[in-house]
Amino acid sequence: MRPLYWFLLSLALLVGGVGMMLVPHVGPEPSYTCVEEGQPSSGFAIEIDGQECLLSPGDFQAYWHYERESALPVRRAGLGLFVVGLGLGVTGIVSAARRSRRSASAAPAAA
């Protein structure tokens, strides 16, 4: 395969991998209910409609999962694409070096 094709494929995988790693969330945002005063809460509050809202432990777990872990499989796949893209870039560099070495050694023999 020509080095240009290796580089183009590498570039496409690198861009795709970075795009996948930057995905913020996957799926719909969970709904939250505010805990009334005196009710057990997680101690964590978020802002809903401009007001601070204490979350129950179950709602906090849903919020944490949505914010931190919902896009984790997509981000890992993006990291995999990025690493494969780097490998293909190195393959393109090696292929280009070998091709130029072959053409340089073949030129004096032809003369």
| pLDDT tens digit at each of 111 positions of the chain | 788 999 999 999 999 999 999 999 999 989 888 888 888 888 888 888 888 888 999 999 999 999 999 999 999 999 999 999 999 999 999 999 988 888 777 766 555
Query: How many CB atoms are located within 10 Å of the residue 6 CB?
Result: 20
User: Residues 81, 101: one domain?
Assistant: yes
Residues 63 and 33 in one domain: yes
Question: What's the maximum distance between 2 C-alpha atoms anywhere in the chain?
Answer: 93
Are residues 84 and 53 both part of a single domain?
A: no
Same domain? 43 vs 15 = no
Cα–Cα distance, 91 to 78 (Å, whole number): 20
Q: Does 60 share its domain with 78?
A: no
- pTM equals 0.76
Domain count within the chain:
2
Q: How far apart are CA 104 and CA 95, in angstroms?
A: 14
Domain enclosing residue 16, as ranges: 1-24+73-111
Residues 50 and 81 in one domain: no
